[in-house]
């Protein structure tokens, strides 16, 4: 009996040399062309040929299974044995050690060397292929590679592997404490928290094994496979709660562990942040009282309500039906949906604030960050929609013809779009002009459509004619052009004069500017000049960000605006000349009488550009309605009023006759 115990003990202990002999014997027993998966080769291996010394075939097989559990197994058995030899000489230590900056880089496997060498070539030959398809092809090519050609990659790998082993030995010598701490860490590192599905699966697995003790892993997976997705929200919330509790305990334990092991260079980022999926997080938040986000506009609300009763209709048809029915609604009904949407947004804001107040500070930050992400996405979508409001560019005659025949050509070339395109281009180039006339006419109609739509949507002329300033999204705001404008802007914005009517407010601002020391005026002037410089830089950057179409629209708008202002000036000049001729008697005022009135006139024309003379009223009506307008022009021409001569020229839109 003692002899049997001693024999058993001897069987359990394998010397390193014996283990290496085992692997060498396995390598010899393998076929020359070992191209099958390792499991297949392992099952066909003749273990009687592997047996050596006192080790039987069964003992060799059992020991190999023990060793193979310690290594990854997604390569051929030939390649796997090389790693097993390395494992026996230098068993793997902790995983975190590989993140050390001095840790030597592991050599690429023979297959991966082949893959990296050939990938670019095959990607160029087959640009239509995905990475997955390329990987499949190259994997097959490598398996079919003759041993002679494959030997090159294997030899390169083994050579680099030797260098890696030497580098690893050097690393271990230089960092013995780190290697030791990593080994210790592997045994007592806190276990990561499980997801709700993992917790549920482990629980159900135990229950299943009680009733089916002989069940395999496959049987369990087949039985429990789709049950999680079919669980009710109430039952799923139970496991979500347990997962969150486990994660909370894990975070506390991990923080303590990081403090106790500063040599590991671990941070808070190494802690698992969440165990819930997006859907599970949404379910948990909803059960805690998080309100559902309202639709962004009335149309979306209409679609959401309509779609709730269209579950049997395919999703592609639903949106078409929604769009058609929305068009049939009266404007009052559309406005009703928009009002309801705005009301829902207000309610959502109140409910969200109530929900946030019930959360911890950390959870509040999470929810707010999610809201910001959603807002940014919405903003991006809105910007895209705004850009898409521009009319579709006009199509050429060839484009319109190709659209009408593309179906026939695709059918002829079996959906090969490239061949169909080339064939259509060849046909169009050989077409006679009389055959093209119909398509040329259609292209001309489409060009007119484009010009008409562009005029309706963003026509600068139409915008200016309507008296409304055209708005361009993102356009930088024009700053004050001089010191007095900057001073006026500051006085109006600080609210100090809000108790006064606008007329008296502007008079007071002018009076204060007059009393302001010259040093202060110069300071405002410098600020205005700096703002103007910044504005020019911002305007250039904004123009560069626009599409060529939007940039042309903006330039067209500004040029049209300037042209219209010039036309207005010419008309005013004609009117002024006529008034001067017809009303010369009424305008015979002495220069002494008109001097003060002229000063008032300049201030009334544009109080933001010119400070008023002392005691001048800030009249709100336009320049040309001022009673001394024509008289001022007469005196200006005669040169009897220096103040008007010097200041009146600087006003925009004023032409001297």
CA distance 543 to 558: 13
Of the spans 342-356, 403-417, 492-506, which averages the highest pLDDT? 342-356
The per-residue pLDDT for 623 is 43
pLDDT at 74 over 70: no
Helix, strand, coil percent values for the chain (each to nearest 5): 70, 0, 30
- Residue 160's CB is within 10 A of a number of other CB atoms, namely 15
The per-residue pLDDT for 549 is 67
pLDDT at 633 over 50: no
pLDDT at 496 over 50: yes
pLDDT at 465 over 60: no
pLDDT at 185 over 50: no
The per-residue pLDDT for 271 is 74
CB 440 within 8 A of CB 397: yes
The per-residue pLDDT for 571 is 52
Structure confidence at residue 457 as a pLDDT band (50, 70, 90): low
The per-residue pLDDT for 601 is 43
The per-residue pLDDT for 641 is 46
Report how far apart, in Å, the C-alpha atoms of 451 and of each of 19, 192, 391, 393, 456 are. 84, 64, 9, 9, 9
For 189-278, the fitting CATH number among 1.10.1060, 1.10.30, 1.10.10, 3.40.50 is 1.10.30
How large a percentage of the chain has pLDDT more than 70?
68
Bridge partner list, 55: 52
Structure confidence at residue 625 as a pLDDT band (50, 70, 90): very low
CB 405 within 8 A of CB 424: yes
CB 189 within 8 A of CB 257: yes
The DSSP code for 100 is S
Minimum mean pLDDT range among 6-15, 81-90, 341-350, 644-653 = 644-653
Q: Which tens digit of pLDDT belongs to each residue from 558-592? A: 766 666 555 555 555 555 555 544 444 444 433 33
Bridge partner list, 52: 55
CATH topology agreement for domains 2-186 and 189-278: yes
Report how far apart, in Å, the C-alpha atoms of 44 and of each of 34, 49, 95, 114 are. 11, 12, 33, 28
CA distance 323 to 309: 15
Q: Give the mean model confidence (pLDDT) for residues 87-106.
A: 63
Superfamily of domain 397-458: High mobility group box domain (1.10.30.10)
The domain limits of the chain are: 2-186, 189-278, 397-458, 483-648
The per-residue pLDDT for 599 is 44
Q: Which tens digit of pLDDT belongs to each residue from 130-164? A: 888 888 888 888 888 888 888 889 899 999 988 98
* Mean of pLDDT over the chain: 73
Q: pTM to 2 decimals?
A: 0.34
The per-residue pLDDT for 656 is 41
Structure confidence at residue 311 as a pLDDT band (50, 70, 90): confident
SS3 104: coil
Minimum mean pLDDT range among 324-338, 458-472, 539-553 = 458-472
Minimum mean pLDDT range among 123-127, 197-201, 649-653 = 649-653
Q: Give the mean model confidence (pLDDT) for residues 375-392.
A: 49
CB 303 within 8 A of CB 322: yes
Structure confidence at residue 402 as a pLDDT band (50, 70, 90): confident
Instruction: Give the tokens for residue 357.
Output: 């107040």
CATH code of 2-186, in short, is 1.10.30.10
CB 204 within 8 A of CB 227: yes
The per-residue pLDDT for 596 is 44
- CATH 3.30.429.10 is right for the domain spanning 483-648: no
The per-residue pLDDT for 537 is 83
CA distance 336 to 298: 8
Radius of gyration of the chain (CA): 42
The per-residue pLDDT for 618 is 42
CA distance 130 to 133: 5
């Amino acid at each position: 009996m003692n002899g049997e115990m001693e024999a058993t003990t001897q069987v359990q202990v394998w010397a390193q040399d014996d283990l290496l002999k085992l692997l060498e014997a396995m390598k010899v027993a393998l076929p020359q062309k070992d191209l099958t998966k390792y499991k297949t080769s392992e099952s066909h291996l003749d273990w009687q040929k592997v047996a050596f010394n006192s080790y039987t075939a069964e003992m060799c097989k059992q020991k190999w299974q023990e060793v193979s559990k310690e290594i990854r197994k997604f390569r051929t058995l030939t390649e796997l044995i090389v790693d097993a030899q390395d494992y026996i000489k230098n068993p793997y230590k902790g995983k975190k050690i590989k993140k050390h900056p001095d840790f030597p880089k592991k050599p690429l496997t023979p297959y991966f060397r082949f893959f990296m060498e050939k990938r670019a070539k095959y990607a160029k030959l087959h640009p239509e292929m995905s990475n997955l398809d390329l990987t499949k092809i190259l994997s097959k090519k490598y398996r079919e590679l003759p041993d002679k050609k494959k030997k090159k990659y294997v030899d390169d790998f083994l050579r680099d592997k030797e260098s890696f082993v030497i580098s690893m030995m050097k690393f271990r010598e230089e960092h013995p404490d780190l290697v030791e701490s990593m080994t210790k860490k592997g045994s007592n590192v806190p276990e990561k928290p499980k997801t709700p599905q993992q917790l549920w699966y482990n629980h159900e697995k135990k229950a299943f094994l009680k009733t089916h003790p002989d069940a395999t892993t496959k049987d369990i997976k087949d039985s429990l496979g789709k049950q999680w997705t079919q669980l009710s929200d109430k039952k799923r919330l139970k496991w979500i709660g347990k997962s969150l509790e486990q994660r909370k305990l894990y975070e506390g334990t991990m923080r303590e562990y990081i403090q106790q092991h500063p040599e590991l260079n671990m941070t808070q980022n190494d802690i698992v942040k969440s165990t819930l999926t997006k859907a599970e997080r949404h379910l948990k938040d909803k059960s805690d009282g998080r309100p559902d986000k309202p639709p962004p506009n009335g149309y979306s609300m209409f679609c959401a309500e309509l779609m709730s009763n269209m579950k049997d209709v395919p999703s592609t048809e639903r949106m078409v039906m929604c769009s058609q029915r929305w068009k049939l609604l009266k404007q009052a009904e559309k406005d009703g949906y928009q009002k309801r949407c705005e009301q829902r947004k207000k309610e959502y804001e109140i409910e969200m604030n109530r929900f946030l107040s019930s959360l911890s500070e950390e959870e509040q930050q999470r929810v707010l960050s999610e809201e910001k992400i959603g807002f940014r996405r919405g903003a991006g979508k809105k910007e895209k929609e705004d850009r898409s409001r521009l009319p579709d560019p006009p199509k050429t005659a060839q484009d319109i013809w190709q659209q009408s025949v593309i179906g026939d050509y695709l059918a002829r070339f079996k959906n090969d779009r490239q061949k169909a395109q080339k064939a259509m281009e060849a046909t169009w180039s050989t077409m006679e002009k009389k055959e093209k006339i119909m398509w040329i006419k259609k292209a001309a109609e489409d060009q007119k459509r484009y010009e008409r739509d562009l005029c309706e949507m963003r026509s600068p002329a139409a915008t200016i004619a309507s008296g409304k300033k055209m708005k361009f999204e993102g356009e930088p705001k024009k700053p004050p052009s001089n010191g007095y404008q900057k001073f006026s802007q500051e006085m109006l914005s600080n609210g100090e004069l809000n108790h006064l009517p606008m007329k008296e407010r502007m008079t007071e601002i002018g009076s204060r500017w007059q009393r302001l020391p010259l040093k202060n005026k110069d300071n405002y002037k410098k600020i205005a000049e700096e703002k103007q410089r910044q504005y020019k830089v911002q305007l250039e950057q904004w123009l560069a960000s626009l599409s060529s179409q939007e940039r042309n629209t903006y330039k067209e708008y500004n040029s049209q605006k300037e042209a219209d202002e010039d036309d207005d000036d010419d008309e005013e000049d004609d009117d002024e000349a006529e008034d001067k001729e017809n009303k010369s008697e009424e305008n015979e005022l002495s220069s002494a009488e008109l001097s003060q009135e002229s000063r008032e006139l300049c201030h009334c024309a544009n109080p933001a550009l010119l400070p008023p003379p002392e005691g001048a009223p800030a009249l709100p009506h336009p320049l040309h309605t001022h009673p001394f307008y024509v008289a001022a022009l007469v005196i200006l021409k005669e040169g009897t009023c220096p103040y008007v001569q010097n200041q009146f020229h600087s006003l925009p839109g004023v032409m001297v006759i």
